[in-house]
Structure 1
Amino acid sequence: MLQKPKTNESMSQKFLITVLSVSTTTFLLGGLASYWVGRQLSPPVASQETTAAPAAKRGGPQAQLVRVGSIHRETITPVRTLVGDLIAVRRATIATEVAGKIVELPVDEGSNVIAGKTRLARVDDTWTKLEEDKIATQIAEQKATLEFERTDLRRYEDMLKHNAVSLSEAEQKRSLIEGLEAALEQHKVMLREAHERDSRLDIFAPFNGSVVAKLAEVGEYLTIGSPIVEIVSNGRIDARIMVPEESLALVRVGDSLDLLIDSLGIELKGEVASINSQGSVGSRTFPVRIAMDDQDGTLLPGMGVSAFVPIKRESTELLVPRDAVLRKPDESTIWILQQKDAAPADAVAASNAKPIAAPNWTAHPIPVRVVSHTRDSYAIAAVRKVDRPRLEPGVQVVTEGLERLVPGSRVKVDLDTSELAAVPGTYRTGQQKSDRDQ
């Protein structure tokens, strides 16, 4: 009776152990099977990396299209740009020399005038004509009186021979005749004066030019000296610039200077006409006038002009195109081209080398100092000593598209030399404008 319960308890323990063993084995076999299936379905890690590499390559940045110039060494005369104004050689306010009412004023502001031919105004001649007639009548009357007195004098002289009149009476007659002759000459002068006033009723231009101000109107009564119009000369026009005292020694009367009319983009040469010896104490500058042709009236007084004035004697410098320099208040920068994966020392090309038009170039910024400049180039020097070997004649520098570059950018050189045209929403280089820029 006591052995039977023990047998049942032992069998229960064996059954429980068996169930746990089977469950554990089944769990382990399921895990192994899942791992094997996963390995069969997933690609190798190396294949994933190989596949990802081309994808990353396809998604990488594209080469930027740029235009380039080159560094070269040249002997130059450094210049500085001075801003001035165009001024007329001659300016005059034309006034009337005769009092009267204006009956004609055929010119207006902007009218071209020719010296001695273009009538600026005409004054009413009514009172002048009446004055001429009045004086002419007085002269005729005085001539008749004088003729009578001369005849009477001859009679007095005959009577004096016979002692019919006294000598004093004859002298009084001679004095009277002399007074009449003097009065006659005076009236003749008055008549010539009237004729001269009459000739000046028509007011003509004193020199070739154009009307810049109209100071009277038809119907106005003007006194002597009243202004009518203001005119300025044409043909020659002068640029007036203020030259600093340190550059004044390099400018001489007769020198030829390059000029740029800012608003019109006209480039021309002018000749130094005069240097004013009275300078400005505050700015230490001296007025210099540069004569030039007004290009058939295209250049007008008041326009802005830039003059390129030498600042020192000739010197040999490293030059780059002006468009290659990004100028900022703190420092200036140029972008040089290096072949991709090439050492910096290999970036120096031969002076006659040409850039390869394939996208195997990278652009790198170089801080530089602008030493001086000419009209088309900047003379530069490296700011850092380590950059000096990289700035040599023949090195290619970016001139178009440098605003879009970041250090190490891959670039493609555009060999097209035609001028870039600006399109709406972009800069001339093609860079897209931001909302802030627009």
Structure 2
Amino acid sequence: MNDERTEQLHSLTIERTQESHGSGGPGWVALLVAIVLAGGGGAGAAWYFSPKAEPAPAVTAERPDRSVERVETAPEVAPAASTRPAPSSGLVASGYVVARRQATVSAEITGRIRDVLIEEGAVVEEGEVLAYLDDDRARIDLDLFEAQQAAAAERAQSFAAQVTEARTQLTRTEQLISSGYATDSRRTAEQAQLDSLQAQLSAARADLAAARVRVRSQRDYVDRHVVRAPFGGVVIAKNAQVGEILSPVSAGGGFTRTGIATLVDMDSLELEVDVNEGQIQRVRAGQRVEAILDAYPDWRIPAHVEAIIPTADRARATIRVRVALGERDDRVLPDMAARVTFLEQD
């Protein structure tokens, strides 16, 4: 019995050498890893040293294409940079655009503004109406003076007729005296009457002349209620509104204005620049100048020196120079900043 049990137990035991060969132990695993590494390294070496590595030139072929595009676009930028004019050499000074003809337009009398016909930026002609003052009272006085003128004319006409009649009567009396039908006393009385009428006629005519002067003066006063442009130009400021009091002798206030508008003659625009005293010997009348406005740095305006103001600024040690522009343009506006270059003589 014991022998049978021992044989049965022995049959149930498993030998370790068979287990390691059957289950793929550590030796087998190491072998597989070596094979995989060897295969990967060989494949990597084959890929690295393979002559089929030609995609790299394809990448380098794209880079020349991009460089060609850059070369082609470069000429498109170059002309834009070349359009800017080269700076001129010479003495440089700065200043502003000023107008030789500029005025604050006002009336010559004090009155209430009834209507304003202009706005900023309006272009007006010489003599054009800018505003009206209230002239009702002035027109009433004008009607009165015209009536007085008419009455004076009637009186003068009446005395003229009486003088004509008295002269005719005196002539008839002289004829009667020569025939012996009238006396000298009658002629003396009629002569005195004629002289009196002539004096009254002269006074009436003087009154008529005075009435005419009053009417003419009052018409001029009525016309002064109309504010007109003294010259053609552009309105750059509207200084008064309807209902305000306009007074040319007033300093201005809440409802009192000294002018209707500021008018500038654009044809009289020029440049005024300040030149250092130490450089004024390089400037002469008639010298060619190149002007550049700060608002348009690429626009070079031909100009010339109009005059050198014969006085110096003690505080800044500068001398003012007037520069006349060689061309007119709507882009040039008063008070624009400018820089001028006094071109040296060739």
Is 1:179 aligned with 2:203? yes
Structure 1 residues 16-415: aligned runs within 5 Å: 78-108=89-119, 110-116=120-126, 118-157=128-167, 158-159=169-170, 162-163=186-187, 165=189, 170-223=194-247, 226-265=258-297, 266-292=299-325, 296-309=329-342
> What one-letter code is carried by the residue in structure 2 that aligns with 1:291?
A
CA distance in 1, matches of 2:315, 2:146: 64
CA distance in 2, matches of 1:292, 1:313: 19
CA distance in 2, matches of 1:236, 1:144: 54
The 8 Å contact of residues 257 and 309 in structure 1, kept in 2 or not, is answered as: yes
> What one-letter code is carried by the residue in structure 2 that aligns with 1:279?
A
Work out the number of aligned pairs and report it.
239
The 8 Å contact of residues 247 and 309 in structure 1, kept in 2 or not, is answered as: no
CA distance in 2, matches of 1:273, 1:211: 26
Q: CA RMSD in A?
A: 3.2
Which piece of structure 1 moves more, 190-199 or 297-306? 190-199
> What one-letter code is carried by the residue in structure 2 that aligns with 1:116?
E
Task: Compute the displacement of 1:82 (Å).
Answer: 0.9
TM-score, length basis structure 1 = 0.48
Cα gap change, 1:306 to 1:223, in 2 (>3 Å): closer
The 8 Å contact of residues 301 and 327 in structure 2, kept in 1 or not, is answered as: no
SS state at 2:189 partner:
coil
Cα gap change, 1:182 to 1:105, in 2 (>3 Å): same
Q: Deviations over 1:124-146 (max 9, x none)?
A: 33233322221221111111111
The 8 Å contact of residues 115 and 204 in structure 1, kept in 2 or not, is answered as: no
Task: Compute the displacement of 1:166 (Å).
Answer: 6.6
SS state at 2:331 partner:
coil
Q: Deviations over 1:347-389 (max 9, x none)?
A: xxxxxxxxxxxxxxxxxxxxxxxxxxxxxxxxxxxxxxxxxxx
Task: Compute the displacement of 1:294 (Å).
Answer: 7.5
CA distance in 1, matches of 2:326, 2:265: 12
Which residue does the alignment assign to 2:15? none
Which residue does the alignment assign to 1:399? none
The 8 Å contact of residues 279 and 285 in structure 1, kept in 2 or not, is answered as: yes
The 8 Å contact of residues 113 and 245 in structure 2, kept in 1 or not, is answered as: yes
CA distance in 2, matches of 1:139, 1:198: 17
Task: Compute the displacement of 1:200 (Å).
Answer: 4.2
The 8 Å contact of residues 243 and 287 in structure 1, kept in 2 or not, is answered as: yes
CA distance in 2, matches of 1:95, 1:77: 45
Cα gap change, 1:169 to 1:117, in 2 (>3 Å): closer
> What one-letter code is carried by the residue in structure 2 that aligns with 1:235?
D
The 8 Å contact of residues 236 and 294 in structure 1, kept in 2 or not, is answered as: no
Richer in helix (by share): 2
> What one-letter code is carried by the residue in structure 2 that aligns with 1:180?
A
Task: Compute the displacement of 1:150 (Å).
Answer: 1.9
Cα gap change, 1:280 to 1:138, in 2 (>3 Å): same
> What one-letter code is carried by the residue in structure 2 that aligns with 1:244?
N
> What one-letter code is carried by the residue in structure 2 that aligns with 1:83?
S
Which residue does the alignment assign to 1:25? none
Task: Compute the displacement of 1:187 (Å).
Answer: 1.4
Cα gap change, 1:117 to 1:148, in 2 (>3 Å): closer
CA distance in 1, matches of 2:247, 2:93: 45
Task: Compute the displacement of 1:224 (Å).
Answer: 6.2
Structure 1 residues not aligned, in runs of 5+: 1-75, 315-438
The 8 Å contact of residues 289 and 303 in structure 2, kept in 1 or not, is answered as: yes
Cα gap change, 1:285 to 1:166, in 2 (>3 Å): same
Cα gap change, 1:308 to 1:224, in 2 (>3 Å): closer
CA distance in 1, matches of 2:220, 2:130: 18
Task: Compute the displacement of 1:253 (Å).
Answer: 2.6
Task: Compute the displacement of 1:100 (Å).
Answer: 3.3
SS state at 2:284 partner:
coil
Q: Deviations over 1:316-363 (max 9, x none)?
A: xxxxxxxxxxxxxxxxxxxxxxxxxxxxxxxxxxxxxxxxxxxxxxxx
Task: Compute the displacement of 1:89 (Å).
Answer: 2.0
Richer in strand (by share): 1
Task: Compute the displacement of 1:111 (Å).
Answer: 2.1
Task: Compute the displacement of 1:151 (Å).
Answer: 2.2
